A and B are shown apart, each in its own frame.
Chain A
């Protein structure tokens, strides 16, 4: 199995992008934690009353469970993205994790992130893990973050497979671009992309 050589600073750029994404995700983590603790407090308080019917407690237990699930998904994604990726990297798995972290909204103006997957079979690529993550996070963050006075709609992420390559398409209501600071190292890492109208198509060679 051959892997393309990535420039040394792909890891540095990836860590910077991860830091930015985590900063944004912190708010959602706190919100989910908040949801758990507040609803558990209702459960604890009402359950201690002898006359409390189950219906007075159940909705809050459900809500706490839902928030815990939301928290778990987010934390799993964050932890996985923080780990050193073993080669070869699975583009589909990475996309889902990146979407979970980048989709944690930090502002009401931010776009939602939706992932649509088609069956691509083996989604492993020869590009290094750091470069795959950088190639997905860098444009997705740019597409998600709403600017003051302009709120954004959803960003749709689709994974498609060709014989020799895997393509991740990012579509939005406005242009989605590959940030210029990441472009050089990504090209050197073997990532290709095309920008058209409101779509960015990122192509990774199959492993």
Chain B
């Protein structure tokens, strides 16, 4: 990479000429300006890794220049050269973000100090420049690998993936079911130096203990009854690449011991085998379990947890990514319309209202399935609420779908959610909603408009598990005790019947 330039800002020509010669002799590109304003002008249009600024300069002194650089967020490292080395000016310079300061006169000792400071300041600038470039690259990004999302939460995830992928550190991905943990693992693999090697995914919960052990470590011929051939396990097959262990907290503890040994020694032994086989592997694990509880309960070895969780990536649930729901829904609509040979152009407003207000306990997977089902079921060019709202969440058969309002929610929030859920249950009929709730239609419309304009919390109310939706622990701090109430507030006698 081309080395960043140095800008000297000082009105003393005798100093700048000598100083620039010294720095040029050391291999740096140097430019000189005679006052602070010219320095600021240059820094605004060009990039300089380091600015050597005199404290006393015409037009704009060193401290004012520093302050302008901070205010305008101009990336550079500023070293203040001061002839007035009072504690005040030095402290002020450092407080205002100067990299360092050097007192005049620049005798041989101070020049040596300056020469030692500059490469360090340039290194800092380069690192920060890379971070800025990365942040700018990720800004506006809607897709990263196979992941989709433009929310701040997802961009933070992309940043962590980008930072950790090139290392060989083990990564533990935490997140609810359906949030895309395997996609994160794939992205880590694709962005790493191992991307040309294999990616091997294994679900630890899906296999009985014996089969899981065999899948992980392989076996030698005759290792057990019926093993007529030798077989390489996941560790061997993924050597040179990445192994993804999904639902790792479900792994039996005796296999956890073997896994820990394999991670520590980078060697495995097949079932029935006697020789150690070297493996070059990067492990990415994932779980939706509360790991602290699993450790306390003895389900997960603590030493294995620390081995796997060198870096943790916390995947946000879809309800915390309201910015992404529309993007994902449109993407799924486009994908499934194409796959099913349909020309569906979009969602009706009422369908959007339901999509944006539903709390998606099954996360992206649930949204994807809902849109796929809606595309298949739809008989028009747009998706309506009746296409997208699952049958068990509708109340068309006279059975009110319950909704849960946390204690502490405001009456306005509760009313808004009640209106919304009733509206959804009527397949988007405002007149019926108003009638069911005993409210004027104008009130219903204004509540819906508020929601449409983003005034309402997209998911303050959670559907109970008995409503047929996968129950999941709330990720956001919501300590209030929930109160369950039927969606139809007008129903004076809540049914004792559980969800359908």
Contacts and interface: CB of A to CB of B under 8 A. Distances in A.
A and B form one complex: yes
Interface of A: 26-27, 30-39, 41-42, 45-46, 59-60, 63-64, 66-67, 106-108
Contacts of A106: 56
A30 B18 contact: no
Query: A-B pairs with the 10 shortest C-beta distances?
Result: A35-B14, A108-B58, A38-B18, A33-B105, A30-B83, A39-B18, A34-B105, A30-B104, A42-B21, A34-B104
Contacts, number: 75
B58 A41 contact: no
Interface string B426-440: 000000000000000
A43 B83 CA distance: 23
B108 interface: yes
Nearest to A28: B83
B110 to A, nearest CB: 8
B114 to A, nearest CB: 10
B104 A108 contact: no
B18 A107 contact: no
Given A38-B19, A41-B22, A108 B59 contact: yes
B11 A108 contact: yes
Nearest to A41: B111
B111 to A, nearest CB: 5
Contact of B18 (A26, A31, A42): A42
Interface centre among A41, A60, A64 (most CB of B within 10 A): A41
A37 B106 contact: yes
Interface in B29-58: 35, 56-58
13 contacts: A26-B83, A31-B83, A31-B104, A33-B105, A37-B105, A38-B15, A38-B18, A45-B25, A60-B18, A60-B21, A63-B18, A106-B56, A108-B58
B190 to A, nearest CB: 50
B17 interface: yes
Contacts of B105: 30, 33-34, 36-37
A64 B22 CA distance: 14
B108 A37 contact: yes
Nearest to B85: A30
B128 interface: no
B83 A34 contact: yes
The binding surface of chain B is classed by DSSP as loop
B476 to A, nearest CB: 52
A46 B58 CA distance: 31
Contacts of A64: 18
B107 interface: yes
Most buried by B among A34, A35, A38, A67: A38
A33 B57 CA distance: 17
Contacts of A33: 104-105
Contacts of A66: 14
A41 B19 CA distance: 9
Judged by DSSP, the binding face of A is: helix
Contact of B108 (A26, A41, A59, A107): A41
Contacts of B108: 37, 41
Given A42-B21, A66-B14, A37 B107 contact: yes
Contacts of A31: 12, 14-15, 83, 104
Nearest to B60: A108
A60 B17 CA distance: 8
A39 B57 CA distance: 20
Interface in B63-119: 83-84, 104-108, 111
B18 A108 contact: no
A45 B56 contact: no
Contact of A59 (B17, B19, B22, B111): B17
B22 A38 contact: yes
B215 to A, nearest CB: 67
Interface string B7-27: 000011011011101100100
A34 B11 contact: no
Contacts of B25: 42, 45-46
A39 B17 contact: yes
B14 A67 contact: yes
B21 A34 contact: no
A109 to B, nearest CB: 8
Given A30-B83, A63-B17, A38 B35 contact: no
Contacts of B111: 37-38, 41
A35 B108 CA distance: 12
A27 B17 contact: no
A39 B107 contact: no
Contacts of A26: 83-84
A36 B84 CA distance: 18
Given A27-B56, A33-B104, A34-B106, A39 B83 contact: no
B106 A108 contact: no
A36 B17 CA distance: 11
A35 to B, nearest CB: 4
Given A34-B14, A38-B22, A67-B14, 18 more contacts: A26-B84, A31-B12, A34-B12, A34-B83, A35-B14, A35-B15, A37-B105, A38-B19, A39-B17, A39-B18, A41-B22, A41-B106, A42-B21, A42-B25, A45-B25, A60-B17, A108-B59, A108-B61
A50 to B, nearest CB: 15
B209 to A, nearest CB: 72
Contacts of B58: 108
Contact of A39 (B11, B14, B84): B14
Contacts of A108: 11, 35, 56-59, 61
A26 B82 CA distance: 12
A33 B105 CA distance: 6
Contacts of B61: 108
A99 B428 CA distance: 89
A41 B443 CA distance: 82
